[in-house]
Structure 1
Amino acid sequence: MKLLLRGIPLFFLLFTSFSLSTKPFKIQENKNYTVKRVIDGDTFVIDDQSAKGVKVRFIGIDAPESRNTGRKTIGYFGKEAKKYLTTRLDGKQVSLTFDTAKQDRYGRILAYVYLDGMFLNAELVERGYAVSATFPPNVKYANYFVELERKARRNGVGLWK
């Protein structure tokens, strides 16, 4: 009986993750979307013609937290990262491309983000607003992001000041 009860939370987690990732995927690659708002240094909301919009999470990078939440506290350079991204994206048009996994377990779109042809994921790491953070299976630019982070550290930019 104990073994059966232990498996229930695991089954629930797997079922929930599967059901979230099987929601209809309506976002198209290389189509322009207007940014409605920036949540933090690595997540924003695009206008998909729904009331709330869709959350987009940058693939391959991680920015420090910009606000306190249940389990996370504001990270060093988190507010600066959010401010920079807001300046770059708020109300502008972005284009998205994808890797293997298109959504995370929270239902956010996972994307490589382009603004006026500029690869924004790379820009954020290169300027020290984010660090490399690769999670398989989305590994297309993993080595590139690591190299950009090393360069940012050497140059003492952003959170590496």
Structure 2
Amino acid sequence: MKTQLIFLFTFLFFFAQAQLQENTWYKVSKITDGDTFYVTSSSDKYKIRLIGIDAPETRNVGVKVRKEYFGTEAKIFVTQLLKNKKVKLTFDVQKTDRYGRVLAYVYLENGIFLNQYLVEKGYAVVSTFPPNVKYVEKFTQAERNARKLKLGMWK
């Protein structure tokens, strides 16, 4: 019985994740922090985690995750960009992470590549996890420039 429930949950989880389509516009419904937010598709809600970057944490969670310097600023910046907006998602090798979040590269309606933009402005750092490394060079160069120009968290 337990094995059947695990199989059913796994099937439903991956079936639900498969509903999101690449290069499709989705409405942002909630911003969690500087690198995580929710989108809606019909009546479904999906948690999106930006691939290749890491924004500072905005709150303490358990004993491992602690609120970090510039976390609040990063969340405010992302909220200003995403609130009541639509985004287009593209994917890399893995579509979800071990926490069930959808891993995506995100584009705004005005064409801005959000993942890279957050690093360029100093609101996130490069944080890639193979095999999702499609834009590691772009993100690394963006972080170097942000540090050099003392933008965002590098002030």
TM-score after normalising by structure 1: 0.85
Tell me what 2:121 maps to: 127
Deviations 1:100-136 (A, max 9, x none): 1011011111000000211010000000000000001
Distance 2:81 2:25 in 1: 15
Q: Distance in 2 between matches of 1:150 and 1:97?
A: 25
Counterpart for residue 7 of structure 1: none
* CA distance in structure 2 between the aligned counterparts of 1:20 and 1:64, rounded to whole angstroms: 33
Q: Which residue does the alignment assign to 1:137? A: 131
Match of 1:87 in 2: 80
Matched letter for residue 125 of structure 1: V
Percentage of pairs with the same residue: 53
Residues of 1 paired with 2:21 and 2:82: CA distance?
19
Match of 2:41 in 1: 48
Backbone CA RMSD of aligned residues: 1.8
1:65-120 Cα shifts (integer Å, max 9, x gaps) = 01111121111100000000001001100000001101101111100000021101
Q: Distance in 1 between matches of 2:112 and 2:149?
A: 21
Superposition deviation, residue 50 in structure 1: 3.0
Q: Which amino acid aligns with 1:94?
A: V
Answering whether residue 14 of structure 2 is matched by residue 23 of structure 1, we say yes
- The ranges of structure 1 where at least 4 consecutive aligned residues each deviate by more than 3 angstroms after the TM superposition are 19-22
Gaps of 5+ in 1: 1-14
